[in-house]
Structure 1
Amino acid sequence: MFWVLFLLLAWAGLLFACTRLLKAASELAEPPPGTDARHHHDELSLYEAAYLAGGPERVAELTLLSMQRQRRLLLAHTGWATVVDPVGRDPHECSVLGAFGPDGQEPVTSVRSAVARDAAVRALAERLGEAGLASRDEARRDVESGIRSVRRATVLVLGMMVAALCVPDPGTTTTMILCWFALPLILALGCLAIARVEGHGQSGWASPAGRRLLVELGREQGARGSLTAVALRGLRAVTDPELRAALTYGRRGRIPRQRGH
């Protein structure tokens, strides 16, 4: 019965990892002490909705699209942006304009990255965090670390199972060993599946209170193609194929070349 030691090691590693993930998830679900999450959806601006639904890059994309619809910025399907009106009307628009060089043209991917790192987005995140609507960076990192721990524990379970099968035991069959190790393996895979489903079903940037506001906002103002829909669902809500191409060009790090240069 030496294989039982391998089983106990597998259970110990898995339970430790699952406990770590559950603790991190519960802390993520709780608003920070001293915050007030009472925030009506009528008070939720598009920038706030964009941050809660998709983070800093969503705010940058929303700003670019909003300025383009006002014909104050031109977005070409080749991935280049051109300034038409050099006057920003809010801090986020000012951060967009500040990302351009003297010729008023830049790749969309460069502008998006600069805006996502701008102080205006950091101030927005702090404001939402103080209101209890945005999840804390530390809590998000803890959840991600917990998921990685469960994945490593899954590998540990498989490794211990292989080791147990390699240990000869006249009184134990291979089927029995597989059945015993199937229990921790099912727990590990189930935990990862739940984490994946929860991750797809909610924004990692919004707290539970923030997610409720996003749902309310989407029900009332989330018509496809609107700026609200873009704030909530990202670029897949953009109906114009050329605009979608302009905003997605270079998203994987490729800087587009401007024609004629």
Structure 2
Amino acid sequence: MFWVLFLLLAWAGVLLACTRLLRAADHAAEPAGKAAAPPGRTRHHHEELSLYEAAYLAGGPRRVADLTLLSMQRQRRLLLAHTGWATVVDPVGRDPHERSVLGAFGPDGQEQVVSVRTAAERDPAVRALADRLGDAGLALRAEAEQGVGEGIRAVRQATWLVLGMMAAALCVPAPGTTTKMILCWFSLPLILTLGCLAIARAEGHAHSPWASPAGQRLLVELARERGEQGSLTAVALRGLRAVTDPELRAALAYGRRGRQPRQRRY
């Protein structure tokens, strides 16, 4: 019955890894400012969200950059061509995000959309926006997201531990114990680890990787009331899928799938 020791080691690794993942997931789901919220009151409402904040919660820094470009284009302060080039019309930024976009242009006032978007994504204004949403409990905090990732890696390692311990148990002579019995016993911790990984994967696809549960609820409310197709709110929530103009959508899509602008002149 020496193989039972291998089974116990496998269970120990599995339980530790799954506990770590569950704690990390619970920490990520807990609003940062929960303790400061007045009892019996909802601390946030979707009407309090700006479009930039909604864009970050729904799609992260890239969505914020796309929203800024589209907003400036609709105000005729920036021209976006389907060839993937942007031209400045009004060089005065009205907020930090617009100033980050304008700062990416050269002296001739023209630049590739992909370059402008990249600069806007990495601007400190986006980082400040993320910190503000994180402090409000609407965005996932960086440490919480990192903890979930480490928990998932721990469960994966535990899966390999179970397989290794099972192989070792099969190599040890066990009078009166069949191979089928050993496989059945080791299948239990293996099912647990695979189940945790499947749930983590499903949860990751079902929810925004940027918004906390509280932020996700606000996005749902906002989409229900102001998510008309083609509006800036719809773009903030759903990205380029909500852009109805095909040429404008083509301009913003350059650089996403390896496509580069073909020309610079309009």
TM-score (norm 2): 0.89
Cα pair distance change 1:236/1:151, threshold 3 Å: farther
How much does 1:245 deviate? 2.8
Match of 1:82, SS? strand
Match of 2:83, SS? coil
Match of 2:108, SS? coil
Q: Which residue of structure 2 aligns with residue 2 of structure 1?
A: 2
Equivalent of 2:48 in 43, 66, 74: 43
How much does 1:124 deviate? 1.4
Equivalent of 1:139 in 138, 141, 144: 144
How much does 1:233 deviate? 1.9
What one-letter code is carried by the residue in structure 1 that aligns with 2:29? A
How much does 1:32 deviate? 2.0
Equivalence map 1:1-261=2 (5 Å): 1-33=1-33, 35-36=36-37, 38-251=43-256, 254=258, 256-259=260-263
CA RMSD of superposed structures (Å)? 2.1
- C-alpha separation between the residues in 1 aligned to 2:224 and 2:264? 45
Question: How many residue pairs were aligned?
Answer: 260
- C-alpha separation between the residues in 2 aligned to 1:168 and 1:25? 41
Cα pair distance change 1:90/1:162, threshold 3 Å: same
Whether the 8 Å CA contact 1:35–1:130 is kept in 2: the answer is: no
Cα pair distance change 1:51/1:173, threshold 3 Å: same
How much does 1:260 deviate? 6.3
In structure 1, the gaps of 5 or more residues are none
TM-score (norm 1): 0.91
Cα pair distance change 1:14/1:214, threshold 3 Å: same
Percent identical across equivalent pairs? 78
Whether the 8 Å CA contact 2:254–2:261 is kept in 1: the answer is: no
In structure 2, the gaps of 5 or more residues are none
Divergent runs of 4+, >6 A: none
How much does 1:192 deviate? 1.1
